[in-house]
């Protein structure tokens, strides 16, 4: 009988989809998909496998076969719920072990909540938009590498993460929330039918869809209105990429503006463009802008000095206080630059350090120009 690794690789080849594309669509790390195909992870969770079924357009017998082999290899000790919790904790420990140090983390985006450092004022502003009685659409803006995607991953993963930094606290939500992560840079997310199916599947509502009807905005709305009970935040990364694709037309964006009127759904989008620039960009693409007077704009800011110093404290004694102050000054408090400069200062000395630091600063010139 085929293994899970053999089946998932076969279906990926048939659909001409890469590890990175599948990982992006699932909201996972590329390394996780590699471990699936290599057999290091033999039994992903059923929820992830069902998402794969949607992405890879598997027929029901093919999806059932994929679920069967994963369940066959799954060793269950105690109750199923406890076994799943242990598996999730072990997976998170494994992921954390791959980058055990909080700094320097020089790849983006940050996915582990324990590695995420936030400007508290900005984070509180975002969180307050979805507390009890509030259901705002939010537009998070900032330059490239300012931390927009990392913030979305933090919002989505904070509640289920069991590994935090000493003294780090979970976000305290006053109402239960569902999360759906969409990255418009993924080609599959630029097709309306796939996007709507992905959302329904992620919310566990796909079975309510009438198989005899096409999946369009009308049938999607019927399922959402009739069966969605938990407040849901749909995280939309790189929203300008969605605006430029032909598969998401005016009807889609107009529908997005009005979805909140009949369902407990809020949208949180990210963009390198400001709200005004995004409105103008939508018009240039002959699209109805969904943002005018609908989305609350929140601009990302660099970290305050105390938070930046807290981040660099995890470098240990290898950096002196003066070193840390220099790094904070050069980075202007932006986490991505802090991490990259920290990496340079820990690995090079003298002229090589100066040269490498200059390269980092040139690479992030657009971000430094956005700092206040």
Could you give the CA distance from residue 1 to residue 3 in angstroms, rounded to a whole number? 7
- Asked if residue 314 belongs to a domain, the reply is yes
Could you give the CA distance from residue 64 to residue 215 in angstroms, rounded to a whole number? 22
Query: For 316, how many CA atoms within 13 A lie in the half-sphere containing its CB?
Result: 6
Q: How many CB atoms lie within 10 A of CB 150?
A: 24
Are 243 and 320 contained in the same domain? no
Are 149 and 250 contained in the same domain? yes
CATH value at residue 20: 1.10.260.40
Are 242 and 313 contained in the same domain? no
Give the pairing of strands 178-183 and 137-141: unpaired
Are 295 and 338 contained in the same domain? no
- Asked if residue 111 belongs to a domain, the reply is no
Q: How many CB atoms lie within 10 A of CB 332?
A: 19
Could you give the CA distance from residue 361 to residue 171 in angstroms, rounded to a whole number? 33
Closest CA to 56 of 213, 188, 173, 176: 188
Residue 341 token pair: 């400069």
Closest CA to 8 of 28, 47, 35: 35
Omega before 368 within 30 of 0, i.e. cis? no
Are 213 and 330 contained in the same domain? no
- CA torsion sign for 352, 356, 357, 362 is positive
CB 127 within 8 A of CB 139: no
Domain count, the chain: 3
* Among candidate residues 248, 265, 299, the one where a domain is terminated: 299
| Strand, helix or coil for residue 237 | strand
What backbone torsions phi and psi does residue 295 show, to the nearest 5 degrees?
-95, 140
| Digitized pLDDT (tens) for each residue of the chain, 372 residues in all | 678 888 998 899 888 898 888 988 998 888 788 888 877 777 788 889 999 999 999 988 889 888 888 887 665 433 455 666 666 666 555 555 444 567 787 777 888 888 899 899 999 999 999 886 778 899 999 998 999 999 999 999 887 777 788 888 889 888 889 999 999 999 889 999 999 999 999 998 988 888 778 899 999 999 999 999 899 999 999 999 999 998 999 899 888 878 877 889 999 999 999 989 998 998 898 887 777 778 899 999 999 999 999 999 988 888 999 999 999 999 999 999 999 999 999 999 999 999 999 999 999 988 887 543
| Strand, helix or coil for residue 33 | helix
- Asked if residue 120 belongs to a domain, the reply is yes
CATH value at residue 148: 3.40.50.300
Are 247 and 332 contained in the same domain? no
Residues near 80 by Cβ (< 8 Å), separated by ≥ 6?
none
Predicted local confidence at residue 178, as pLDDT: 92
- Asked if residue 84 belongs to a domain, the reply is no
CA gyration radius, the chain:
22
Range of the domain at 64: 4-72
Closest CA to 50 of 78, 74, 71: 71
Predicted local confidence at residue 368, as pLDDT: 85
Could you give the CA distance from residue 104 to residue 26 in angstroms, rounded to a whole number? 26
Predicted local confidence at residue 303, as pLDDT: 95
- Asked if residue 351 belongs to a domain, the reply is yes
Residue 368 token pair: 């430094």
Element (H, E) at 155: helix 148-157
- Asked if residue 278 belongs to a domain, the reply is yes
Are 314 and 355 contained in the same domain? yes
Are 355 and 267 contained in the same domain? no
CB 92 within 8 A of CB 163: yes
Strands (E), 184-256: 232-237
CB 359 within 8 A of CB 336: no
Tell me the DSSP string of 79-108. -HHHHHHHHHHHHHHHHHHHT-SSS---SS
Are 278 and 336 contained in the same domain? no
* Among candidate residues 263, 282, 299, the one where a domain is terminated: 299
CB 262 within 8 A of CB 221: yes
Are 39 and 121 contained in the same domain? no
Residue 181 token pair: 């992560």
Phi/psi-derived region of residue 16, left when phi > 0, alpha when psi is between -120 and 50, beta in every other case: left
- Asked if residue 216 belongs to a domain, the reply is yes
Are 208 and 275 contained in the same domain? yes
DSSP-assigned letter for residue 292: T
Strands (E), the chain: 137-141, 178-183, 232-237, 265-271, 295-299
CB 185 within 8 A of CB 191: no
* Among candidate residues 299, 320, 346, the one where a domain is terminated: 299
Are 175 and 251 contained in the same domain? yes
Predicted local confidence at residue 78, as pLDDT: 39
């Amino acid at each position: 009988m085929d293994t899970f690794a053999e089946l998932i690789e076969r279906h990926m080849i048939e659909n001409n989809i890469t590890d990175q594309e599948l990982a992006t669509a699932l909201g996972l790390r590329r390394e996780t998909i590699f471990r699936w195909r290599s057999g290091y992870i033999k039994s992903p969770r059923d929820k992830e496998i069902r998402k794969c079924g949607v992405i890879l357009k598997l027929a029901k017998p093919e999806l059932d076969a994929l679920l069967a082999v994963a369940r066959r290899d799954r060793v269950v000790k105690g109750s199923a719920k406890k076994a799943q919790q242990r598996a999730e904790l072990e997976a998170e420990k494994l992921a954390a072990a791959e980058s055990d140090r909080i700094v320097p983390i020089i790849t983006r985006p940050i996915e582990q909540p324990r590695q995420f450092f936030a400007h508290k004022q900005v984070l509180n502003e975002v969180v307050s938009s979805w507390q009890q009685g509030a259901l705002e659409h939010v537009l998070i803006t900032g330059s490239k590498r300012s931390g927009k995607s990392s913030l979305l991953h933090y919002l989505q993963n904070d509640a289920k993460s069991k590994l935090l930094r000493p003294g780090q606290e979970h976000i305290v939500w006053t109402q239960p929330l569902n999360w759906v992560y969409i990255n418009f840079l993924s080609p599959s997310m630029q097709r309306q039918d796939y996007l709507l199916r992905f959302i329904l599947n992620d919310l566990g509502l796909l079975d309510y869809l009438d198989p005899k009807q096409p999946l369009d905005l009308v049938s999607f709305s019927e399922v959402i209105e009739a069966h969605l009970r938990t407040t849901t935040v749909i995280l939309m990364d790189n929203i300008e990429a969605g605006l430029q694709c032909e598969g998401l037309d005016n009807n889609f964006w107009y529908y997005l503006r009005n979805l909140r009127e009949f369902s407990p759904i809020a949208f949180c989008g990210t963009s390198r463009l400001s709200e005004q620039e995004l409105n103008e960009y939508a018009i240039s693409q002959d699209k109805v802008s969904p943002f005018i007077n609908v989305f609350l704009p929140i601009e990302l800011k660099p970290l305050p000095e105390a938070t930046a110093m807290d981040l660099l404290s995890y470098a240990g004694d290898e950096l002196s206080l003066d070193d840390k102050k220099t790094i904070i000054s050069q980075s202007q408090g932006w986490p991505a630059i802090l991490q990259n400069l920290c990496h340079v200062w820990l690995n090079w000395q003298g002229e090589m350090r100066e040269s490498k630091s200059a390269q980092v600063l040139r690479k992030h010139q657009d971000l430094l120009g956005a700092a206040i």
